[in-house]
Amino acid sequence: MKVSVKTPATIANLGAGFDSLGLAIPIYNIVSVEETVLPGSGIEINIINEKNNNENDFRDIPVDKNNIVYKAIELLYNFLGQTPNELKITIKTQIPISRGLGSSSSVIVGGLIAANELLGHPADEKVLMSVATEIEGHPDNITPAFVGGVTVSSWEEDGSVIYRKLPWNDEWKLMVCVPDFELNTEISRSVLPKEVPMKDAVYNLKRTAMFIDALYTKDEELLKLALKDKLHQPYREKLIPGLSDIMNNLKHINGVIGTVLCGAGPSVLVVYNGIGASEIKESVTNTWNYFNVKANFMNLPIEKQGAMKIV
């Protein structure tokens, strides 16, 4: 038996909601898991690059038991008192790697749902989310990959993940600007301070609360305020050439509601009201050109559906 699961890319943080908010976008990785028929064939892992992603991006991804999809599946089996012996895992990737778009969350979630199906559904969503977050570390990516849409989530001390899905005003569009360089999440977290000034924590706290109200009331002016951040982006600016210029320049473009870093970066998300797409692209292209960075642009809606089984 073979089970394939298609899981969307995600954008975490969304400005003020560091490690809490996230949303899904319609680009996908597909993970297939099958029990191999021949005993003794062990674990086989194949990665197929489906979207002309740079082949070099894949060079460091292990295809043995150190692969994160395998590790997640192994943790699930162990949780159920079992050990995976003969498994073939195929990972088809469309989501750019190390660009802040949740490519690892997507394959972890896909692998776990597929393996759970192979095992006959022993684990519920709560268990799968908690196993996925233990491997990946960021519920703000795992949750929207799992359930789609916009989410607020919390990884609790007992390992469980609590989340709520939030509404989205479909008049608000997303322009995802993906630069041609990678940024490793660990490096991007290493520049964050261990402690932050109380006034910065309060700055984000009220904006995260207002983000949620802005979504429920479709209040564009409130969303403008809510997309600002002082807890992570200011520290990460030095890792992303041109980021502060991009953010400053886009403030003057009609239609732009806010500009935030996608997760740990380096991609940039522009939330806008449908006006100004070409000005946004032009402005970001010009700024990054100055820093010798090339970019891809994806003009996307929110993906409302999360990981789904495909045939």
Helix (H, G, I), strand (E, B) or coil at 289: helix
Please state the length of the chain: 311
DSSP conformation class of 96? P
Residue 84 beta carbon to ligand HSE: minimum distance, rounded to whole angstroms? 26
Report the residue closest to ligand HSE, judged by CB.
Answer: 263
d(CA 142, CA 26): 15
Q: Using the minimum distance from each CB to ligand HSE, give the nearer residue, 90 or 106.
A: 106
Q: H or E element: which one contains 245? A: helix 243-250
Residue 208 beta carbon to ligand HSE: minimum distance, rounded to whole angstroms? 13
Residue 207 beta carbon to ligand HSE: minimum distance, rounded to whole angstroms? 15
Q: Using the minimum distance from each CB to ligand HSE, give the nearer residue, 23 or 33.
A: 23
Binding interface with ligand HSE (CB under 6 A): 12-13, 18-19, 138, 140-141, 185, 189, 232, 263-264
d(CA 90, CA 63): 10
b/e per residue, 97-124, with b = 16+ CB within 10 A?
A: bbbbbbbbbbbbbbbbbbbbbbbeeebe
Centroid of chain to Cα 242: 22
Residue 200 beta carbon to ligand HSE: minimum distance, rounded to whole angstroms? 15
Residue 134 beta carbon to ligand HSE: minimum distance, rounded to whole angstroms? 15
Q: Using the minimum distance from each CB to ligand HSE, give the nearer residue, 74 or 229.
A: 229
Residue 196 beta carbon to ligand HSE: minimum distance, rounded to whole angstroms? 14
Q: Using the minimum distance from each CB to ligand HSE, give the nearer residue, 13 or 116.
A: 13
Helix (H, G, I), strand (E, B) or coil at 264: coil
Q: Using the minimum distance from each CB to ligand HSE, give the nearer residue, 92 or 232.
A: 232
CA 209-239-265 angle, to 5 degrees, is: 45
Is there a contact between 263 and 9 (Cβ–Cβ < 8 Å)? no
Q: Using the minimum distance from each CB to ligand HSE, give the nearer residue, 118 or 192.
A: 192
Q: Using the minimum distance from each CB to ligand HSE, give the nearer residue, 12 or 33.
A: 12
Residue 236 beta carbon to ligand HSE: minimum distance, rounded to whole angstroms? 8
DSSP conformation class of 56? G
Q: Using the minimum distance from each CB to ligand HSE, give the nearer residue, 241 or 266.
A: 266
Peptide bond preceding 266: is omega within 30 degrees of 0, i.e. cis?
A: yes
Distances 61 to 5, 48, 126, 173 between C-alpha atoms, Å: 20, 12, 28, 33
Residue 141 beta carbon to ligand HSE: minimum distance, rounded to whole angstroms? 5
Distances 114 to 70, 121, 291 between C-alpha atoms, Å: 12, 9, 42
Q: Parallel, antiparallel, or unpaired for β 43-49 and 87-93?
A: parallel
